[in-house]
Copies of this chain bind each other. A is one copy, B any other.
Amino acid sequence: MRVLGIDPGSRHLGWGVLERVGTRVEHVAHGVIDVDLDGTFADRLVDIDDRLGEVIAAHAPSHAAVESIFFSKDAQSAAKLGHARGVVLLRLARASLQTFEYPPALVKRTVAGKGAADKRQVAMVVTAILRLGTPPRSDAADALAIALTHCNVVGFQAALAASAPARPRRRRANVP
């Protein structure tokens, strides 16, 4: 399983690719798409779409994970983020990637142990867990944290399925 994590934004879009091999998680690549701010807003969306397409082509993920949208933002920020996120979800769907969404607090709790961890803590933990030489930029660190969350959730579910006792067969009612 190769997971592409994405932290969407209309100016900077973080991405990170992890591979789950057995129960191990290995770092593949990460980066930040710094959107070209020269053109119109629509040009930015085209830029996001093109460059995310390149990331997908280069790293061939099998799954994707994106932060679920954060509704405490004001309407203007939510709308701008919505535009970028819409383009991201479209590109992932076009690439036939099964996409999972996780709330930001779950992502922080999964990697840093608490839902209120700040960006620096997330970056430090991601750097340590994935044994990265240098800490990634915060947008990429967030994307790696999202990918890591997906790997953990899948791992947890697999462990749960393996340890579950066989479900007892339902006893048939004794109809006289």
Contacts and interface: CB of A to CB of B under 8 A. Distances in A.
How many identical subunits does the complex contain? 2
Interface string A2-45: 00000000000000000000000000000000000000111101
Give the dominant DSSP class at A's interface: helix
A56 to B, nearest CB: 14
A79 interface: yes
Interface residues of A, number: 31
Contact of A79 (B43, B69, B94, B99): B69
Interface stretch (A83-91, A148-156, A157-165): A83-91
B76 A79 contact: no
Contact of A86 (B73, B76, B87): B87
24 contacts: A40-B99, A41-B89, A42-B93, A42-B99, A46-B90, A46-B93, A46-B94, A69-B79, A71-B75, A71-B79, A73-B75, A75-B75, A75-B77, A75-B78, A76-B78, A78-B78, A78-B79, A78-B82, A79-B82, A80-B82, A82-B85, A82-B86, A83-B83, A87-B90
